[in-house]
Structure 1
C-alpha cells in the first residue's frame, strides 16, 4: 500500500520545495471540461482554434492551478494543509503533448499563524514559464500518514463519435435514392429529412400524404422539394416502397412508423419482393463505450432460430457490410455459452461448422472463430485467462449470436446498461433496408443511412470491377482466337 505523509510547520524550512511533472493529454482537457463545465472553444474545438490567438487547442488555465493544489495537498505541506490564498499569472499556453514541471518552494514562515508562503512556478519542456505566482497555506501542526487513495479508472466516450466517422466517410459518395416507408411520426420523418440535408439519401416519402404533411407541420419540418408517394396506409406503403425498388426508382428502403413485420412481409414475398439467393438478416451496429471500435451484432431482429445454412448467410451478410465500411478482414466471433465444442449445446456445433466452412471457402472475406463465450470474444484478458490463442478472441468486429433471443438480449443490454448507441440495417435483399427502432434518435437513423449509402457504393464499385474484369477476359479470349 502507498501512503501520503505530510510535513508539519516545525519540520518545514524556508527553501524546501516539491515538484511534479505532467504531460498534457487530450483526455486531461476533456476531463477538466466535464468536471468544470468550461467548454470554451479554445479548449475543446480544434476547428475554432485555427483562427484564434494560439492556433491550437490549449488546456484550461486552472488545470495548472489544480496541479499546484495537488502538490500543496499531497507533498508540501501535504495532508492537513489549509489553502488560504493564491495568486497566479499566466505567461504561456499549454497545448496537447506539452510537459509541465510544477514546483512549489517555501519562501516565508509565520509562526503566529502557522502560515507558509510558497512561490509557485510551472515551466514547460522548453524552459518557458507557463504559470508563476504565490500561495499561502496553513501548515499542519501534527504529523499525518494516510493511505494514498486509489482513484477510479476513467473512460471517456463521446456519444455518436463513431457514427460521425461513418457519416464523414460518405462525403464523396452520391446520396442513395431511398423509399422511406410510412414516415408518419416526427422522429422517422425528421431522421429522413436530416439524412437528406446531409447528403446521405434522396428520400421518397411513401405513405398517406395528409398524415405526412400533418406530421411535418406539427414538428416544424419543411417538405419543399421532397417527393411523396401517396398511399392509404402502412401496408400499402410497404408494398409501394418495394415496388419502387423493383422499378429501379429507389436503391434502399428506410423504415418509418410501422412494425418491422409489415415491411419485411412485403420484402420477402416470392413473386413481388426483393429476395436474393441469400437469407435476409439484420445487423446492429453498436457504438459501445470502452470498446475500441464499432461492434456488429447479428442476427437480433429477423431470424428467430436460424439453422446452419441461414447462419452462413448471416455471417456472409455481416462480412459484406464490414467490407463496405472499410474493415478489410473483419474478425467474426461465433458466440455460445462456452468456448469449447460440446454436443449438448447445439450452438457450439454450429460455431465449429461455420469455422470449417470458412476454411473450405463456403464463407469468405473474414476471420472466423468459435465457439466463443461473450467475454472471450470482447476481452483479451478473459481470452488469455482461458488460454485461448486466436486472432478473433478479445478483438471481435462481428458477434454472431445463436438465435434472435440471445442477440436481442446482447444488443439491448449493451444499449441500456453499457450506454451503447445502436443503428441497424437489414442485408441479403436486393437493396439495404434501414431497420431502426421507433425509440431510436436522429443520430442512429443517420448512421443507418450512412451504412446503406456505403454498402450501395461498395456494391456498385464491385459490380463495375467484375464487369471490367469480364470485359478484359473477353478481350483476351478474342485476341487469342485471332492469333
Structure 2
C-alpha cells in the first residue's frame, strides 16, 4: 500500500508554516515579464518576501502594465540589461540589503555567473547546488531531489556538499533527521559503476562526521529508496529504504530526469532553491506557475529564518 498513500498536501503545510515569520528582503533579478513579476508580487502578498525589483525601469513598468499589476510602494533598482541586473542584485546581498535572490526573466547562467564570481559573488566554503522540493501525490511527504540543475558530473567532495545542502533545507522545513538515499542503478557496491562506490563513501563520511544532520544509506536504486515494498522484496534492511526524504542523484542528467518525470508523469508540484551561497537563490523556470514561485519563496523564507534562529543560539 505504500505506493498508493494519500497525498498530504505538503506545499500547503509549508506555506502555513511561514505565517508567523517576517517577510525576507529579496532582490528580484530582471522581472521584465508578466510571469516573473506576478510571482514576485504574489510572494509579497502572501507575506513571504519584500521584493526589490532590479532591472530596466521601463521594461519592468511595461510588464506591470501588460499584466495589470501595481508597482505602488515597490523599490526599483534600475539596470541597463540582464547581466547588469544580476550583478546589482548580488551587490544588494553583499551590502546586507537583500536576504535572498529570485530569478526573473533572464537565463539561469546569468544569475549564477554573478553569484559564483570569485571576488564579487556569493561564494561560501561549500559548493552551490540546486534542490528540487516536490509534492508528489503518491508519496506521503515532501521529496527533495539534488542536484538536477547546477553540478553536471559532481565528484565525491562536491556530492558531500550537495548532500549537506539538501539536509540543511530539510531541517528548515521541519525534518529533524532527514533520510538521505544515495541513488545508483543498483543497491550493491559494484566498482564498474562509480556512483555505487561514491554512495558507499558518502555513507562512511557521514559515519565519520564529515556530513552531519541526516541519516544516509546507499547505494540504493530509485525503487528501493521510495518503496518499502520494493526494498523488502530485495531483502534490504535499512531505515532509509522506502522512506527517503532526500534523493541524491549520481549526476545532473539523472537528477533532472527523475524530477521532471515525477512532475509530468506523476503530477508532482515542484519548487526549489540553490543553496551553498550566502543566501538562498530561487531559480524558477519560465515554465513554472505561480504556485512553484510561491513555494520557492516560502522555502527561502523558512531557510533564512532557520539560519537566523541558529545564529542566535
TM-score of the pair, normalised by structure 2 = 0.98
Alignment deviations for residues 75-132 of structure 1 (CA, whole Å, 9 cap, x no partner): xxxxxxxxxxxxxxxxxxxxxxxxxxxxxxxxxxxxxxxxxxxxxxxxxxxxxxxxxx
Asked if structure 1 preserves the Cα contact closer than 8 Å seen for 2:6 and 2:140, the reply is no
Once residues 154 and 308 of structure 1 are traced to their aligned partners in structure 2, the CA distance between those partners, rounded to angstroms, is 35
* Counterpart secondary structure, 2:312: helix
1:164 deviates by 1.8
- Number of the residue aligned with 2:138: 290
CA distance in 1, matches of 2:120, 2:98: 15
State the alpha-carbon separation in 1 of the partners of residues 118 and 194 from structure 2: 31
Match for residue 198 of structure 1? 46
Q: Report the Cα offset of residue 345 of structure 1.
A: 0.1
In the alignment, which residue of structure 2 is the partner of 1:227? 75
- Which residue in 2 is equivalent to 1:184? 32
- Total equivalences in the alignment: 311
For residues 420-435 of structure 1, the aligned pairs below 5 Å read: 420-435=268-283
Q: 2:27 matched to 1:165?
A: no
Task: Check whether the contact 2:4–2:138 (CA below 8 A) recurs between aligned residues.
Answer: no
- Aligned CA-pair RMSD: 1.2
**Residue 398 (structure 1) aligned with residue 242 (structure 2):** no
How much does 1:186 deviate?
A: 1.0
Deviation, 1:378, is 0.3
Q: Distance in 1 between matches of 2:292 and 2:134?
A: 10
Output the CA distance in 1 between the equivalents of 2:272 and 2:227.
24
Unaligned 5+ segments in structure 2 are none
C-alpha deviation, 1:424, in angstroms: 1.1
Name the CA shift for 1:157/1:329 in 2 (closer, same or farther; >3 Å).
closer
- Distance (whole Å) between structure 2 residues aligned to residue 417 and residue 173 of structure 1: 34
* 1:242 equivalent in structure 2: 90
TM-superposed deviation, 1:172: 0.9
Shift of 1:156: 5.9
Deviation at 1:325, TM superposition (A): 0.7
Q: Identify the residue that residue 351 of structure 1 maps to in structure 2.
A: 199
Task: Name the structure 2 match of 1:211.
Answer: 59
- Secondary structure, in 3 states, of the residue corresponding to 2:272? strand
The secondary structure found in structure 2 opposite 1:354 is helix
Instruction: State the shift of 1:155 in Å.
Output: 6.9
Higher strand share: 1
Aligned to 2:229: 381
More helix by share: 2
Determine which of 260, 281, 288 is the counterpart of 2:108. 260
Seen in structure 2, the aligned counterparts of structure 1 residues 191 and 271 have a Cα distance that, compared at 3 Å, is: same
**TM-score of the superposition, structure 1-length normalised?**
0.64
- Residues 312-345 of structure 1: CA distance to partner in whole angstroms, max 9, x if unpaired? 0000000010001110000000000000000000
Gaps of 5+ in 1: 1-152, 466-483
Q: Deviations over 1:171-208 (max 9, x none)?
A: 11110000000111111110100100111000000011
Q: For each residue in 1:258-308, what CA deviation from the matched residue of structure 2 results, as whole angstroms up to 9, or x when unmatched?
A: 111110000000000000000000000001111000100000000000000
Q: Name the larger-Rg structure.
A: 1
Which of 94, 99, 106 matches 1:251? 99
